[in-house]
């Protein structure tokens, strides 16, 4: 008994949970948790304190100590209590405790593996389980992404018409099998009928145009209404992109249900509906959320991930990489995105597993072949002419444009979202979605470049014009050339190119404005594709302008050396690609992962330098105008307790300036190690709302002994009242290792040393806050105790630090909403 006690005291925790006697646990109970509790075997996430959830034990149990022949004393080190070591909703996990618990588990398995063959097999399966989990996440996310792509493509085309061969064919697939379709007019075939043809029998005339217009708007309104209604009714967490919340969850915060099964099902369905409605949003951000839901759900198949919050967050980091991998067909970019943008804790082991999971997901998506072109993405392009050094100037200009637009977009979108939160607009999410959809579709339909889906628009803007291209953007005046169709020289623009330029200019203004009000509505909405569309339009406009300038003024000194008449000097599609990267970088502040995603997305490996120049320029410009990216801005808007690792703390404050209690506050609420009664503890719990209490030697000495979490204390006392004989309000609680002899007539004591953290993090009152903030970031602490000459002075929580940082930045400290 003593050796067991010493061994457990060294680790400082008693965290192992045991299986509850309630066997009626369903998958629903298990899956509906957003990484929020360690004991998933009980039917409730938070064991109810007013119900006999351990009735199977009655009042007699086994184990314990006999003290002076008195009542049996239950030690929580012997028999874990359900719920102890778990976390409540909207709380932060204790990274140190979770990692300590995992190390203990690993040591136990390693020591037992030498005892028998079965234990050795268990050790091998435990080591292999992480890779198996990655395989399952990759397969599941890849399959879901393929289904979303195919469904969204079909429903987008449904707004314009239907295929007579089978209503389940989209426009492109419908005309593939047609013998009447020509290459130049490959989107026209008798099997595909527009709604005007079906209803009035003709595609010509004003009436046919009005019919198509009305059907386009009607379908869009229906899709968006279904999307917002499903989100509102079944899974409120399925709205938005999900990346700000996933960043917060990966930092250790708990949002129950955010990665549950209902969120996954509803997000998958409504993402298809939202993208198909024609709203200015993308599916890439929500696919990260979908992949993380897959990861969280599959974690329940493996005990070591189900019962450990820190281990589960390693899996979710890999799942985020899988989401980007299937969204863009960019497995390496996905791993770098998870590392650079969303992950809080990313050990080397997670890097390898993320790479493997992203590979499996990309392979699964490639097997499904959702675009029918044997590519992973819609935008695959091949440019045939190299870029010239002087072109870096327009590329950097595109970077400046992307940075300015990104910073302005963030400010405008946050202002709009704040308005939604604080005014009556937020009370009518369905009406807001329908209004924005109506405005979007009514304005989008007359313009060919806004009527088409945003992905197809980007694909067309990235495209390098060939001889057989029928797009208006490729309507150049043909000049005699003996070169192959792959190397067309720069040519004068035809009438349709100028028309396309006007339409694209209007589309640019439209996309810039409508995306501000669309992102953040109560439907799944990603920001990658709309941002790329804005940049691609701006880039194509600049590219065509440069191309015509080089053609008509090839004798200018700036063009003379490298752009002779009849040469293919300027590639407008490349400018579109660089512009897309610049605007996406300006909004998200990604750099390395952005460049890798862009060249994986387009296959443009030799254009890494222009992409790097634009991405860095856009980040510098955007950072000069505002330090936060769009996801960090939304984290702050929602008040999530997220300590941004990139944000520097440069103020000269000390721990005593931030700790509680302040001079005017009542003294710190503490527990004493051997003079506290059950009644005192329950009174303290009732009177306060703190998440935990320091344990001291006595009220007079204030010498620190340890720290007890409020939740663990409540559950332990309730459990002891039900399971241990003689525990009454006057029973004394002991946090000491050895107890003094008790008088024979005294009530049974309660020993709770097992739930106490024996090694809480402490700093002195003169520690610089810069160091304290660094400790919180790097160790993922929930709280830190402040001492002076060994005596307890106060406590600093993560929320205190966030409030202090907000005050230092002249922001409202009460904007940190969650405990």
Predicted local confidence at residue 79, as pLDDT:
58
What's residue 467's pLDDT? 63
Residue with the larger pLDDT of the pair 187 and 636: 636
Residue showing tokens 């004798």: 555
Percent of the chain predicted with pLDDT > 70: 84
Report the distance separating Cα 528 and Cα 580, nearest Å: 9
528 vs 614: CA distance, rounded Å: 16
Give yes or no for residue 29 having a pLDDT over 50: no
Whether 139 contacts 150, CB under 8 Å:
no
Predicted pLDDT at 496: 82
List, in order, residues 6 or more apart from 388 with CB less than 8 Å away: 562, 563, 569
Predicted pLDDT at 478: 67
pLDDT digits (tens, 9 = 90+) for 474-516: 877 765 544 444 456 667 777 888 899 999 999 999 999 999 9
Q: For the chain, how big is the Rg over CA atoms in Å?
A: 31
- Residue 18: band (very low, low, confident or very high) from pLDDT cuts 50, 70, 90: very low
CA 62 to chain centroid, in Å, comes to 46
Q: In the predicted model, what is the mean pLDDT of residues 45-74?
A: 37
Q: How far apart are CA 318 and CA 217, in angstroms?
A: 39
Q: Give the range with max mean pLDDT: 264-273, 728-737, 767-776.
A: 264-273
Distance CA(619)–CA(124), nearest Å, equals 46
pLDDT of 665: 84
Q: Which helix (H) or strand (E) holds 790?
A: none
Residue 59 DSSP SS3: coil
pLDDT at 59: 35
CA 194 centroid distance within chain:
39
Query: What is the model's pLDDT at position 47?
Result: 34
Confidence category of residue 9, pLDDT binned at 50, 70, 90 = very low
- Is the pTM higher than 0.95? The answer reads no
The residue with greater pLDDT, 23 or 566, is 566
Q: Is the pLDDT of residue 373 over 70?
A: no
Q: Rounded to whole angstroms, how far apart are CA atoms 530 and 562?
A: 35
Least confident of 2-16, 233-247, 594-608: 2-16
**pLDDT, position 490:** 63
Q: Strand order in 704-709's β-sheet?
A: 671-672, 692-696, 704-709
Planar angle of CA 493, 498, 500, nearest 5 degrees: 115
What pLDDT is stored for residue 2 in this prediction? Answer: 39
**Which range, of 289-298, 466-475, 493-502, averages the lowest pLDDT?**
466-475
Q: What's the per-residue H, E or C state across 301-314? A: CCHHHHCCHHHHHH
> Which pairing describes strands 161-163 and 192-194: parallel, antiparallel, or unpaired?
antiparallel
237, pLDDT greater than 70? yes
Backbone conformation region of residue 752, classed left if phi is above 0, alpha if psi is from -120 to 50, else beta? alpha
State the pLDDT at residue 167: 82
Among residues of the chain, what percentage have pLDDT more than 90?
39
What distance in Å separates the CA atoms of residue 780 and residue 310, rounded to the nearest whole number? 10
For residue 49, pLDDT over 60 is answered with no
Give kind and range of the element (H or E) at residue 72.
strand 72-73
Secondary structure of 196-248 as H, E, C letters: HHHHHCCCCCHHHHHHHHHHHHHHHHHHHHHHHHHHHHHCHHHCECCHHHHHH
Q: Which two tokens stand for residue 352?
A: 């390898």
Q: Which residues of 336-373 are buried (b: 16+ CB within 10 A; e: fewer)?
A: bbbbbbbbbbbeeebbebbbbbbbbbbebbeeeebbee
CB 497 within 8 A of CB 473: yes
What does the pLDDT look like over 297-311, one tens digit per residue?
999 999 889 888 999
pLDDT band at 650, cuts 50/70/90? Answer: confident
Looking at residue 374, its pLDDT comes to: 66
In this prediction, residue 5 carries a pLDDT of 38
Contact status, residue 327 vs residue 281, Cβ threshold 8 Å = no
Q: State the Cα angle at 568 between 565 and 569, rounded to 5°.
A: 85
Q: What is the pLDDT of residue 740?
A: 80
The two tokens of residue 301 are 């198949």
Question: Which pLDDT tens digit goes with each residue over 678-698?
Answer: 999 999 999 988 888 999 998
Q: What are phi and psi of 560, to 5 degrees?
A: -60, -45
pLDDT at 55: 34
Residue-wise pLDDT for 97-144, tens only, equals 888 888 988 898 888 888 888 888 988 988 899 999 999 999 999 999
Residues 30-53, mean pLDDT to the nearest whole number: 33
Q: For residue 518, what pLDDT is reported?
A: 93
Average pLDDT of every residue of the chain:
82
Q: What's the confidence (pLDDT) of residue 188?
A: 74
Question: How far is C-alpha 50 from the chain's CA centre?
Answer: 36
Sign of the four-CA dihedral 455, 457, 458, 459: positive
Alpha carbon distances (Å) from 409 to 298, 533, 658 = 37, 14, 34
Asked which of 202-216, 665-679, 695-709, 804-818 is least confident by mean pLDDT, the reply is: 804-818
Alpha helices in 445-527 (DSSP H): 448-451, 454-462, 495-518
Under the banding of pLDDT at 50, 70 and 90, the label for residue 469 is low
User: What does 269-312 look like in DSSP terms, one character per residue?
Assistant: HHHHHHHHTT-S-BSHHHHHHHHHHHHHHHHTTSHHHHT-HHHH
Per-residue pLDDT, 488:
61
Q: Which strands make up the sheet holding 732-734, listed edge to edge?
A: 676-677, 732-734, 750-751
Ramachandran region of residue 30, left (φ > 0), alpha (ψ -120 to 50) or beta? alpha
Residue 39 has pLDDT above 60, yes or no: no
pLDDT at 691: 86
Beta-sheet pairing, 750-751 with 762-764: unpaired
Is residue 596 scored above 60 in pLDDT?
yes
Residues sharing a CB contact under 8 Å with residue 52, sequence separation 6 or more, in sequence order: 722
Higher-scoring residue by pLDDT: 557, 374: 557
The H or E element spanning position 706 is: strand 704-709
Looking at per-residue pLDDT, the higher value among 190 and 399 belongs to: 399
Average pLDDT for 6-19: 36
| Choice among 46-50, 260-264, 323-327, 775-779 with the minimum mean pLDDT | 46-50
**Rounded Cα gap, residues 618 and 591, in angstroms:** 9
Q: Do the strands 732-734 and 676-677 form a parallel or antiparallel pair, or are they unpaired?
A: antiparallel
Residue 751: which pLDDT band, with cuts at 50, 70 and 90? confident
Longest dimension (CA), the chain: 111
| 349 or 19, which is more confident | 349
């Amino acid at each position: 008994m003593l050796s067991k006690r010493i061994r457990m005291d060294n680790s400082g925790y008693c965290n192992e949970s045991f299986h509850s006697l309630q066997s009626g646990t369903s998958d629903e109970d298990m899956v509906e948790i957003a990484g929020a509790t360690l004991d998933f075997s009980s039917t409730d996430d938070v064991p109810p304190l007013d119900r006999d959830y351990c009735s199977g034990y009655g009042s007699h149990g086994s184990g314990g100590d006999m003290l002076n022949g008195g009542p049996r004393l239950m030690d929580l080190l012997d028999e874990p209590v359900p719920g102890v070591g778990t976390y409540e909703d909207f709380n932060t996990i204790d990274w140190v405790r979770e990692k300590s618990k995992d190390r203990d588990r690993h040591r136990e398995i390693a020591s037992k593996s030498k005892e028998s063959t079965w234990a050795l097999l268990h050790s091998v399966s435990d080591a292999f389980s992480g890779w198996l989990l990655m395989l399952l996440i990759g397969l599941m996310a890849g399959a879901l992404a393929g289904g979303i792509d195919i469904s969204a493509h079909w429903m987008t085309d449904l707004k314009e018409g239907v295929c007579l061969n089978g209503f389940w064919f989209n426009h492109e697939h419908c005309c593939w099998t047609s013998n009447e379709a020509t290459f130049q007019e490959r989107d026209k075939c008798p099997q595909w009928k527009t709604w005007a043809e079906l209803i009035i029998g003709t595609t010509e005339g004003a009436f046919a145009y009005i019919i198509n217009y009305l059907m386009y708007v009607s379908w869009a309104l229906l899709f968006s209404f279904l999307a917002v209604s499903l989100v509102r009714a079944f899974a409120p967490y399925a709205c938005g992109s999900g990346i700000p919340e996933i960043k917060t969850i990966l930092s250790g915060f708990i949002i129950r249900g955010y990665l549950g099964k209902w969120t996954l099902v509803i997000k998958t369905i409504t993402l298809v509906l939202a993208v198909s409605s024609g709203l200015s949003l993308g599916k890439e951000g929500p696919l990260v959320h979908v992949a993380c839901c897959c990861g969280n759900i599959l974690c329940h198949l493996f005990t070591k991930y189900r019962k450990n919050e820190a281990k589960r967050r390693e899996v979710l980091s890999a799942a985020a990489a899988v989401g980007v991998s299937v969204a863009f067909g960019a497995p390496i970019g996905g791993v770098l995105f998870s590392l650079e943008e969303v992950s809080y804790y990313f050990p080397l082991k997670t890097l390898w597993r993320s790479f493997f999971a992203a590979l499996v997901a990309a392979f699964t998506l490639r097997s499904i072949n959702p675009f029918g072109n044997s590519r992973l993405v819609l935008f695959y392009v091949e440019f045939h002419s190299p870029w010239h050094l002087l072109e870096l100037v327009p590329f950097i200009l595109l970077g400046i444009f992307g940075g300015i637009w990104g910073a302005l977009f963030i400010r405008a979108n946050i202002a709009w979202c704040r308005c939604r939160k604080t005014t009556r607009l937020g009370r009518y999410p369905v009406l807001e979605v329908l209004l924005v959809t109506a405005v979007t579709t009514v304005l989008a339909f007359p313009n060919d470049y806004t009527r088409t889906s945003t992905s197809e628009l980007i694909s067309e803007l990235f495209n390098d014009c060939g001889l057989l291209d029928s797009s208006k953007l490729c309507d150049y005046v043909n000049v005699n050339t003996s070169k192959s169709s792959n190397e067309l020289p720069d040519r004068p623009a035809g009438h349709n190119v100028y028309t396309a330029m006007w339409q694209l200019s209007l589309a640019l203004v439209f996309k810039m404005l409508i995306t501000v009000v669309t992102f953040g509505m109560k439907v799944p909405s990603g920001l990658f594709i709309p941002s790329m569309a804005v940049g691609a339009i701006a880039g194509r406009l600049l590219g065509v302008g440069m191309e015509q300038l080089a053609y008509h003024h090839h004798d200018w000194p700036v063009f003379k050396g490298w752009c002779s008449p009849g040469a293919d000097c300027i590639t407008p599609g490349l400018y579109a690609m660089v512009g897309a990267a610049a605007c996406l970088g300006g909004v998200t502040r990604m750099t390395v992962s952005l460049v890798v995603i862009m060249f994986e997305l387009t296959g443009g490996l030799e254009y890494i330098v222009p992409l790097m120049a634009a991405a860095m320029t856009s980040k510098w410009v955007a950072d000069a105008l505002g330090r936060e990216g769009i996801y960090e801005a939304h984290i702050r808007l929602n008040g999530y307790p997220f300590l941004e690792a990139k944000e520097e703390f440069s103020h000269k404050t000390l721990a005593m300036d931030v700790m509680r209690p302040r001079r005017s506050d009542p003294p710190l609420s503490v527990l004493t190690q051997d003079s506290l009664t059950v009644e005192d503890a329950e009174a303290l719990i009732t009177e306060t709302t703190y998440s935990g209490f320091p344990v001291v030697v006595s009220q007079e000495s204030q010498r620190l002994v340890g720290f007890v979490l409020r939740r663990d204390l409540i559950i332990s006392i309730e459990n002891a009242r039900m399971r241990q004989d003689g525990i009454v309000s006057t029973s004394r609680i002991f946090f000491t290792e050895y107890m003094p002899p008790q008088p024979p007539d005294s009530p049974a004591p309660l020993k709770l040393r097992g739930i106490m953290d024996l090694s809480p993090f402490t700093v002195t009152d003169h520690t610089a806050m810069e160091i304290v903030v660094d400790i919180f970031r790097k160790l993922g602490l929930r709280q830190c105790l402040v001492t002076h000459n060994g005596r307890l002075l106060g406590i600093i929580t993560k929320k205190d630090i966030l409030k202090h940082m907000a005050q230092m930045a002249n922001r409202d400290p009460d904007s940190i909403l969650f405990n």
